[in-house]
Structure 1
């Protein structure tokens, strides 16, 4: 993790890593995601399925998607945030189809939903610790006016709860982001990392001629996370390295994957 990344994440609660994927990596990931989308539900491998715009366990559908969980642009950050004790909790492919009506995602954060103790961002020995965060690899362009991810920058540091009357009581069925909230607009091949302590949401997807495909990769330290979130039949498809990444472990255990670049 670079000093610039560390400073920006500490300040804002998110990182936007531009051109994270190579052209070849992006094309392979796009093609893999589209194969999942185009496969009739009854023909999907065991453990996979569609829930609205969520294509379950999409990261495990193809090696081109699975590799993104370890991508070199984010792996040093994942290790730092988890104090070299990483665990991938889930990896959903989320798809907004062109012209399909979409609902905005209300403003929320882990601390509001699950209590102040549910998510932490702290600095120790010149490194950042973040025990609840998500990585979004983007497979399609998002432009200003399209809708998509919103972030109330710096809110992960808030010492007081957000008053309900602020920001339309969290309802983001609006034409544009309210003052003080940033609409993050990545391009295909970019990645965004956010702490779940950050108040965030999404504007409805507006384009009628373009889709939006993103992976939602969620990470915790290896001592945390619900067991069984990734079904056994899906886990059996994974490479040994990814199988280790999704597995729980004790606080003093060091996974072999931590030694990879």
Structure 2
């Protein structure tokens, strides 16, 4: 794949080295304000993770705290297009094409994370190998993989964290174990939980990147990551999107109309292309390119002879 416009050699190197990349100032101040205004309007719909079964970290660990995170979904169906714009935004599309390929698709329903000061983080998770649970430790995990072949990066599940407030040093929030997307050993249980001497591991190796509102952080889900307790005196706000290559799927949101029967009707053609179900670009997939904001995304055509043959054999347009 040719290098995408807006993606530099330095950025490719840093993502391959660390497993994540911060794109500074990807969104304008007006865009951040629009996203926050929409959250203000729907904030009452957020659901707290208050039960023990929903907590993301043990209370007495490096990632635990008394307060709870609140989750807010459904943004693709809101009247404002602020969150739909992020599906094919010209500041993020070059990275999505670079890391997932042409025909990149939304894999999970988007999620807004809301946290007050003193709320818990999230124990370390992800990685190319299954966790050290004493049963299947270190088994290859095909759902979360990163590769770079002949200069072309590829990730089976890519997260895009859109930062809507500042997270300076020591603020807490997203943290990452650099380079763990290439790990050959499972993360020890106490390292992942931050329990006992795992707190020393968290302090030294679970890095919290400093970010400002409007920054967008991309990371492979094959990179071990989590969150530290939120320490700022204002609410943490982050919009989380997860994308996959055209013919890969982890989540099933596309089977439920992305949360609402009118979502596709509210999208531009470029945004709709990102919400297609998983299938290969060879089968006439509509693809949104690295410019992101093209009014009519490109269709990768298939020969009429092959389509007619398939219809004769299978009695349908595609096998």
Query: Given that residues 149 and 185 in structure 1 are in contact (C-alpha distance below 8 angstroms), is that contact kept between their aligned partners in structure 2?
Result: no
- Unaligned 5+ runs, structure 2: 1-6, 50-69, 132-138, 293-319
Deviation of 1:33 after TM superposition, in Å, equals: 1.9
Shift of 1:186: 1.0
From the superposition, tell whether residues 142 and 69 of structure 1 become closer, same or farther in structure 2 (CA, over 3 Å). Answer: same
Tell me if 1:23 matches 2:40: no
Give secondary structure in 2 for the equivalent of 1:116: coil
> Could you say which residue in structure 1 is the equivalent of 2:93?
75
Q: Which structure 1 residue ranges, 5 or more long, are not aligned?
A: 42-48
Q: How does 1:18-167 map to 2 (within 5 A)?
A: 18-37=24-43, 40-41=44-45, 50=47, 52=49, 53-61=70-78, 62-89=80-107, 90-97=109-116, 99=117, 101-111=118-128, 112=130, 115-165=140-190, 167=191
Aligned CA distance change for structure 1 residues 73 and 260 (closer, same or farther; 3 Å): closer
Aligned pairs, number:
248
Alpha-carbon distance between aligned partners in 2 of 1:199 and 1:256, rounded to the nearest angstrom: 30
- TM score, norm. by length of structure 2: 0.70
Distance change >3 Å, CA 193–CA 64, structure 1 → 2: same
Per-residue CA deviation, residues 187-238 of structure 1 (Å, 9 max, x unaligned), is 111110110001111111122x301111100001122222425224362453
Bigger CA drift: 105-114 or 20-29?
105-114
Aligned equivalents of 1:59 and 1:176: distance in 2?
A: 38
Shift of 1:175: 10
Q: How many Å separate the matches in 1 of 2:124 and 2:262?
A: 31
Whether 1:243 and 2:272 are equivalent positions in the alignment is yes
2:110 & 2:248 partners in 1: Cα distance?
A: 16
Corresponding residue number in structure 2 for 1:6:
12
Equivalent residue for 1:254? 285
Cα deviation, residue 182, structure 1: 0.8
| Residues 68 and 137 in structure 1, CA contact (< 8 A), matched pair in contact too | no
Which entry has the higher C-alpha Rg, 1 or 2? 2
Q: 1:119 to 1:8 in 2, by over 3 A?
A: same
| Structure 1 residues 162 and 259: CA distance shift in structure 2, 3 A | closer
8 Å Cα contact 1:8/1:15 also seen in 2: yes
2:221 corresponds, among 192, 196, 209, to 196
Assess, with a 3 A threshold, how the Cα gap between structure 1 residues 193 and 168 changes in structure 2: closer, same or farther.
closer
State yes or no: 1:215 paired with 2:239: yes
Q: Aligned in 2, Cα 1:88/1:35: closer, same or farther, shift over 3 Å?
A: same
1:156-202 per-residue CA deviation (whole Å, 9 max, x = no partner) reads 1111112334x364459969942122112211111101100011111
Residue matched to 2:255: 228
Aligned to 1:46: none
Q: Which has the higher contact order (CA 8 A, sep 6+)?
A: 1
Q: CA RMSD in A?
A: 2.6
* Cα shift at 1:25: 1.5
User: How many angstroms does 1:94 deviate by?
Assistant: 1.1
